[in-house]
Structure 1
Amino acid sequence: MKWSTGLCGCFEDCSTCCVTTFLPCVTFGRVAEHAENEGSGPGCFAQGFLYVLFSILGVPCLYTCGYRKKLRLKYGLPDEPCGDCVVHLCCDCCALSQEAREIKIRMANTPKGWASRAMAAPHAVKGMFK
């Protein structure tokens, strides 16, 4: 199976491209949360915060490349155009955008996609308002 969009296909989804350019921690948080089987790992906010910490140290690619691999394995995607760490080292924003686009495309055909989970109302606790 191939990636739905290319590494440099940022203009195929301008909103994701803009968010990733100015707030890559947000895009990474979403990608990491999805790659971790939706909820089994740290949440979107925690992942984004860790991305910021690694960015301050100047090595966000050391953290992000592992989640690219998880996403590739989850969807059976090839390790292209080169290794996960090299892709994130050379162009972290392009890699994050590609990963986010891949998730959006794949989730668009599911009944409860990414956006519907984010917009779902919290469940009321039984007996909360007695």
Structure 2
Amino acid sequence: MAGAEENVWSTGLFDCSSDMKSCCLTLWCPCITFGRIAHIVDQGDCSCCVSGTLFCLIHQFRLDSIYSFVYRHKMRRQYKLSGSGCGDLCLSCFCLECALCQQYRELQNRGFDMSLEWEENMRSKPLGVAMAPVFEGGMKR
């Protein structure tokens, strides 16, 4: 993304000590972690359950890293995070669990409750409605 300002990931790839709960979840049930990430990145278009189940099914054919790559790349572009497509692919292929944990932590640090559905996350966020400016002295001609 030439010319676009990139943001740094809020945690490093190997910062599991800061969030052992999600690291353990990813180690034993990566399909749940992936499903939650995909649901948030897709902004609720696909359910957590469907994405996680598909991840689990394609794991049998060792294609889960490719599926994960697609969402890591999409998330990185969505939030303008530093990195590259080649880096996303390498991390997804050779360090899948660490990459998933980093993505999970990133979304948590951006204010998402990963145990909630997209709609519930949106309801819990402030609407961002600004008040109209107040002018001293009223209207004048």
**Larger Rg over CA atoms:** 2
Amino acid at match of 1:27: T
List alignment gaps of at least 5 residues for structure 2.
1-6, 121-141
Matches within 5 A, 1:29-108: 29-36=35-42, 38-40=43-45, 42-79=46-83, 83-107=87-111
Following superposition, the deviation at residue 28 of structure 1 comes to 0.2
Q: When the two structures are aligned, how many residues end up with a matched partner?
A: 113
Is the 8 Å Cα contact of residues 27 and 100 (structure 1) preserved in structure 2?
yes
Following superposition, the deviation at residue 101 of structure 1 comes to 0.1
**CA distance in 2: counterparts of 1:115 and 1:31, whole angstroms:** 10
TM-score by length of 2: 0.73
Identity within the alignment, %: 36
Aligned to 2:110, the other structure's residue is in SS state helix
Amino acid at match of 1:60: D
* Structure with higher helix content: 1
List alignment gaps of at least 5 residues for structure 1.
121-130
Aligned to 1:6, the other structure's residue is in SS state coil
Is the 8 Å Cα contact of residues 107 and 114 (structure 1) preserved in structure 2?
no
TM-score by length of 1: 0.79
Structure 1 residues 19 and 115: CA distance shift in structure 2, 3 A: closer
